Amino acid sequence: MFRSILTRIALLTTLALAQTVPSAYAADSAASPAGASEHAADFIEHDFRFSDGTVFPELRIHYVTLGTPQRDAHGDVTNAVLLMHGTTGTSKAYLTPSMRKELFAAGEPLDTSRYFIVIPDGLGRGGSTKPSDGLRTKFPRYGYGDVVEANHRLLVDGLKVRHLKLVLGTSMGGMQTWMWGERYPGMADALMPIASQPIAMAGRNWLWRQMIVGAIRSDPGWQDGHYTTLPTQWARAMPVFTLITGNAARMQAAAPDRAASTRMTESIVEEAAKSDPNDVLYWFESSWDYDPEPHLAAIRGRLFAVNFADDLINATDLGVMQRLIGKVPQGRYVEMPETAQSYGHQTLAHPEVWKPYLIQLINGA
């Protein structure tokens, strides 16, 4: 779905996201670092209660695990790590060649011979239960809190993981990392929210999301979500996603004249039109309940927030981190300057750039 859009955008703008992964979730030994154990499965959460009061008899959460759980004398897992992806992503965002090389290979910070890594498809995305499975706009109005709760139930009820060495998330996953620290303050030793800010959606961040949401709702072919043929007019708004997540210099280099820019625009629109707009609508509307600011003091684990100066979604000139990080008892942050290695918001897909801060966090430095 949107992974193909992001891949196409990356190719067009030379953002080098490298989103290509093996066709199946379960990778062979060549795809896994040092032949690490890799497993994909679905967990069914019974009687899942959404924040709007709706109870689902069976909610499916798809997930991938890397590595092997280690247990103490009481049988509790001692080496678990949770990774959470962004708005348009799935667990595959962490299964790219660069992620495997920089994070999971032998000697790297999340070496799969040491850690048991859990990567869910967030509720509403990928192989997990979502509107396009059949309910369309009758699907519960889920929020980020529901996504976090579904991941928590996967860990505790499904995998019997009650403690985490680390929670790391990028973009939407970063926002959910802030929420995780507040909801389950004693569960994680360390937290790393990447490309996110702990404030409610507003200003430019809310505006561009509403452009996409409004385009879907006003598309004549959408028919209140009850279409029989995928509507396409809404996709004309999707280039805003490229503008807000990319790096200006790289985009200029990839599309140096009007003809190239026009081709880029049309390709983005064409790819977006292949997606299910009901799923997309829920992706961008589900941030309605995101506002961790009032409860930052509840976070107990070591927290290291990483942001990028050329990220227009989480603009560093708002001074959010400077104002709020002091409320987190063990919190600190870095705002990485724009360099030749910058990719805007999409720097999140380049662990070689932010990995040194992850090493510091894990080592307690």
Q: What is the pLDDT of residues 347-356, one digit of tens each?
A: 999 999 999 9
Instruction: Examine the pLDDT at 296 and tell me if it is beyond 70.
Output: yes
Question: How confident is residue 365, by pLDDT bands cut at 50, 70 and 90?
Answer: low
Token code pair at residue 363? 């080592």
pLDDT reported for residue 364:
87
CA-to-CA distance for 18 and 320, rounded, in angstroms? 30
Token code pair at residue 175? 């926002």
Q: Classify residue 234 by burial, with Cβ atoms within 10 Å: 0-12, 13-18, 19+.
A: buried
Q: Classify residue 191 by burial, with Cβ atoms within 10 Å: 0-12, 13-18, 19+.
A: buried
pLDDT reported for residue 241:
87
Token code pair at residue 323? 């104002």
Token code pair at residue 200? 């409610």
pLDDT, mean of residues 213-241: 95
Residue with tokens 């509840």: 298
Q: What are phi and psi of 278, to 5 degrees?
A: -65, -45
Residue with tokens 């060549």: 30
Question: How confident is residue 51, by pLDDT bands cut at 50, 70 and 90?
Answer: very high
Least confident window among 14-18, 270-274, 299-303 = 14-18
Q: What is the pLDDT of residues 122-174, one digit of tens each?
A: 999 999 999 999 999 999 999 999 999 999 999 999 999 999 999 999 999 99
pLDDT reported for residue 25:
31
Contact 45, 61 (CB under 8 A): yes
User: H helices of 81-160, where?
Assistant: 97-99, 144-153
Q: What is the pLDDT of residues 92-103, one digit of tens each?
A: 999 999 999 999
Of 130, 133, 160, the residue nearest 146 (C-alpha): 130
pLDDT reported for residue 67:
98
CA-to-CA distance for 125 and 120, rounded, in angstroms? 10
Least confident window among 33-47, 48-62, 322-336 = 33-47
pLDDT reported for residue 24:
30
Q: Classify residue 247 by burial, with Cβ atoms within 10 Å: 0-12, 13-18, 19+.
A: buried
Give the CA diameter of the chain: 65
pLDDT reported for residue 242:
86
Contact 96, 20 (CB under 8 A): yes
Give the percent of the chain with pLDDT over 90.
Answer: 84
pLDDT reported for residue 20:
25
Kindly list the structural domains of the chain, giving each domain's residue range(s) and its CATH number in brackets, ordered by start: 18-203+293-363 (3.40.50.1820), 205-282 (1.10.1740.110)
How much is the mean pLDDT over the chain? 90
pTM for this one? 0.90
pLDDT reported for residue 226:
96
Q: What is the pLDDT of residues 178-208, one digit of tens each?
A: 999 999 999 999 999 999 999 999 999 999 9
Give Cα 165 to chain centroid, integer Å. 19
Of 163, 187, 189, 108, the residue nearest 359 (C-alpha): 108
CA-to-CA distance for 255 and 94, rounded, in angstroms? 28
**Cα separation of the two ends of the chain:** 40
